[in-house]
Structure 1
């Protein structure tokens, strides 16, 4: 049986990704490492690459490892992990047109922008900060967190909306008429695909 490992920066993601593995890759086992301090330090400008590598090493027995945090995604990808947001970014640029990038923590803006530019240097991006939503996430009020983000995105002029953080994924259900991409489902599908390149 194959194993997929996940590095998260919030406990709430364990249940989300475990459920997706059960749904999309029922023949796979899942393992999880959570380190909220990685995101906190990255937001404070403290280098985290060595610690990211150390936490990923705890998952070294997995067939594939996914980093679900968009802020530390570049460090994880350099260490050989799959960035959860890369399949989403690839789908966004493939869709074409203007891409709205919604983010709730400032530290994710640069890596998400760089990722989209890596997929398409000429991508037409518009940025939608939802920074006032983040305190609700930190307080565990996920319903309010998602509602605030949805209110920012309801009328944004864009052909496709990218939710830069995996915690935002439920926002898509609140805006069923908008074309919205989030990273959890696409990440699990890509990571467990039978034609995924093996390292």
Structure 2
């Protein structure tokens, strides 16, 4: 039986990705390593490469490793893991068909890595940034419904062909935006890793 390993920077992601594996790849097992300090260090501008490699090494016996944190995605990709937001970026470029892509984010450290992976897929991508920084306080307080509601409220009036939710934690906000083309990284990452 194949095993997918996940490196997360928040415990809340374990249930999300475990559920997606059960739904999208029922023949697969899943293992999870959670290290919030990786995101904290990245947000503080501290180097994360050594600690990242140590945590990825804990998943070395899995068939594929996905780093779900967009902020440290590039470093994880360089270390041999699947960058969790790359499949979403590819899908966003394809869906936008040259139109505007709204990039919503709740922490500042996500902006550069997310826009970089989108531009890596298409250097001419028309990106509009949608900061949802006020929502992060709800995530940190564990109030996920308020977090997702604040993100959705920020996005309702955005004019774009596609909306990208830059962080996995934002994914449930997509359900609060019916009729809008919203892409999230968790589902795309699991599909890419297991097919």
Residue 177 of structure 1: how far off its partner (Å): 1.1
Q: How does 1:139-154 map to 2 (within 5 A)?
A: 139-154=141-156
Report the secondary structure of 1:47's partner residue. Answer: coil
Residue 28 of structure 1: how far off its partner (Å): 0.4
Residue 72 of structure 1: how far off its partner (Å): 0.5
Distance in 2 of aligned mates of 1:42 and 1:172 = 26
Describe the superposition over 1:81-112 as per-residue Cα deviations: whole angstroms up to 9, x where unpaired: 00110000000001121000000000000000
Residue 2 of structure 1: how far off its partner (Å): 0.3
Question: 1:39 corresponds to which residue?
Answer: 39
Residue 119 of structure 1: how far off its partner (Å): 0.2
Please give the root-mean-square deviation of Cα atoms over the aligned residues, in Å: 0.4
Residue 167 of structure 1: how far off its partner (Å): 0.4
Question: 2:12 corresponds to which residue?
Answer: 12
Is 1:120 the counterpart of 2:122? The answer is yes
For structure 2, list consecutive stretches of 5 or more residues without a partner in the other structure. Answer: none
Q: How does 1:91-130 map to 2 (within 5 A)?
A: 91-95=91-95, 96=97, 97-130=99-132
**Structure 1 runs (4+) greater than 6 angstroms displaced:** none
Distance in 1 of aligned mates of 2:21 and 2:87 = 16
For structure 1, list consecutive stretches of 5 or more residues without a partner in the other structure. Answer: 194-199
Number of equivalenced pairs: 193
Distance in 2 of aligned mates of 1:144 and 1:111 = 25
Question: 1:169 corresponds to which residue?
Answer: 171
Report the secondary structure of 2:74's partner residue. Answer: helix
